[in-house]
Structure 1
């Protein structure tokens, strides 16, 4: 599976409970002028809470709740750890350039790792993937506790890492134990922000009488949402173009789904409806296809266009921050965390010791 520089989109969860995630992106680059050689970001439930780059050489909070949750010792410790990772990544690029018989040019190394867990269950899914110049390089199979090498150049690394049982045990422990433990701590610190539910506004928009009708939901949180068109209660897939979930400037999200009505008879419009489902909302938001509620004047369309453009620009900024460069395809009081500050807090110190140094 390719590593994509897209925020992971989780669907609405069933009765088993709400799914949460914590993940890190570590990106090193060479040959890109005026851009940090190393960028590291951490996200909990797709919200960036910590950022580091080689220009500042400091781990810094990205959310107010994170600023309040820990003391300065925490940030000093994180900065030291990520600085060491930066140096390792720089060496990795040199090793991989030799491995692939390369000299100059632009090159990217990225690691994406983390975990997902579901409330009310003990199920934890850990993941660890590494890429080079837009292609998978190596990944960790948690079930078999072995490394997977999709290319011949990665086999030598796979063999060495597979034989290091201590580091494999450390990787497993981080992904299944430490990662969800700390993810839950961060969730608790940012509870009022991360675990809120914002109900969206849902509108039907149409540029002209011959254009598809767009069901547009905006202002919702979290991003675990589904937006579908239905006919007579059944989900539609034909003549439907579903958009991605995109971020709004205020931290909420938006999504649209277009329905082509060119082959639908006017008398059958009443059989169609747009259904929005959001994790945390008990009831679906249902909007019947009705000519009288469709907004089609130019002001509405322009407002939608501007909103989408703003979201796309914001998404590009977020992705460039997370990635370092788009070459890879692939909430309670201070005591919550501050009592564990310094060396005891460093969940990062238990991560990335295995599989950081390319061999």
Structure 2
């Protein structure tokens, strides 16, 4: 469940069928029970490929293909950089607490960094941002190559980072290093990452007065669209679109609800649910039919399914602001070598100085 939560935070929908992404998400917290103080997750096209937390203290592969195509040195390097980030984030929380004149309590420091690469146009974009306690702290403007402070407490950090060579390092990482590694991962994991899997689609209804949920699960990739139609035309009124959520096996699920209060019994046959997935011309169409709706009122199967889905959506809504603001910590250093290393963070002391400069 914890892994799914973190994946959900970073489960960004890709803008086009040929757009691919490599993103890393770091999450540090203080005084939150039953959750590791630090978690790092790496994702390729929204699929988790690496995981690290402060309890296991070891980077672990989450896909078979990355296990097959990497060696012990790769995982030692990943563990080392995540361990360094763990120490840096602990220091950064303390630094941020000082900036905001805070002493104790629950606090969260999050970042996400990475790139998107359009396979068709070869266009590259990147994200590199910090967030603290649910609000934007500081972010990197790739086009202008400058830092943007969203809080007064971040201005001192902006001035220091703008005066150093950090911006050039970040641009190099986002536009060169990250896309190169993304292409390598896509090549190594082609059979998995570039596959297409159609969903299983069901109509669910919790109670006689509840909306009918068109629920699709088991599909891949997450570049999909699902909607209700009436007489062949997409409808928006009385329709509620759910989030795309990850399944434990690397596939995805989503739902679209239709309120029946405005649907006349004699008009049911005029409605259908349409599922579209990138790369597949034929739509998956499910007619609104009482005979195929899984009701099972009073039983636990659907209630449990919807309850867990509802909890996941609640979590996503609670942190969606963090998704916008979170980003990478500003300490990726890249040196050109014959054999490219993975992007590596600077040591903890340097990161702490960047966030909490002495000047």
TM-score, normalised to structure 1, is: 0.81
Tell me which residue corresponds to 1:204. Answer: 203
Cα separation, partners in 2 of 1:351 and 1:231, compared to 1, 3 Å: farther
Query: Contact 2:14–2:20 at 8 Å: present in 1 too?
Result: no
Cα distance, 1:266 vs structure 2: 3.0
- Residue 347, structure 1, aligned to residue 346, structure 2: no
CA distance in 2, matches of 1:24, 1:254: 22
- CA offsets 1:292-330 (integer angstroms, 9 cap, x no match): 44343449x75333334455678899x8xxxxx979834
Question: 1-side partners of 2:262 and 2:195: how far apart?
Answer: 41
Q: Secondary structure at the match of 2:24?
A: strand
Q: For residue 12 of structure 2, what is the aligned residue in structure 1?
A: 9
Bigger shift: 238-247 or 209-218? 209-218
- Shift in Å, 1:105: 2.5
Question: Corresponding residue for 2:28?
Answer: 28
Closer, same or farther in 2 for the Cα pair 1:64/1:316, shift >3 Å?
farther
Q: Which runs of 5+ in 1 are unaligned?
A: 320-324, 331-341
Moved more, 33-42 or 173-182: 33-42
Q: Which has the higher contact order (CA 8 A, sep 6+)?
A: 1
Distance change >3 Å, CA 352–CA 44, structure 1 → 2: farther
Q: Which residue of 2 aligns with 1:99?
A: 99
Distance (Å, rounded) in 2 between the aligned partners of 1:64 and 1:225: 24
Q: 1:155 to 1:219 in 2, by over 3 A?
A: same
Alignment match, 1:80: 80
Q: Distance in 2 between matches of 1:188 and 1:309?
A: 38
- C-alpha contact 1:12 1:278 (8 A) present in aligned 2: no
Task: Provide the C-alpha distance between the structure 1 equivalents of 2:309 and 2:211, rounded to a whole number of angstroms.
Answer: 21
Distance 1:309 1:107, change over 3 A: same
Following superposition, the deviation at residue 107 of structure 1 comes to: 2.4
Alpha carbons 1:134, 1:329 under 8 Å: kept: yes
Tell me the matched-pair count. 335
Residue aligning to 2:331: none
For residues 320 and 104 of structure 2, what CA distance do their matches in structure 1 show? Answer: 16
Shift of the 226–255 alpha-carbon distance from structure 1 to 2, 3 Å rule, reads same
Contact 1:131 1:137 in 2 (8 A): yes
Shift of 1:231: 2.0
Give the secondary-structure state (helix, strand or coil) at the position aligned to 1:171: helix
The TM-score with structure 2 as length reference comes to: 0.81
What RMSD in Å do the two structures reach over aligned CA positions?
Answer: 3.3
Whole-Å Cα distance in 2 between the matches of residues 136 and 171 of structure 1? Answer: 19
Residues 1-359 of structure 1 aligned to structure 2 (within 5 Å): 6-10=9-13, 13=16, 17-32=17-32, 35-164=35-164, 166-298=165-297, 302-309=300-307, 329-330=322-323, 344-349=339-344, 357-358=354-355, 359=357
For the residue of structure 2 that corresponds to 1:111, the secondary structure is strand
* Residues in 2 aligned to 1:111 and 1:343: alpha-carbon distance in whole angstroms: 30
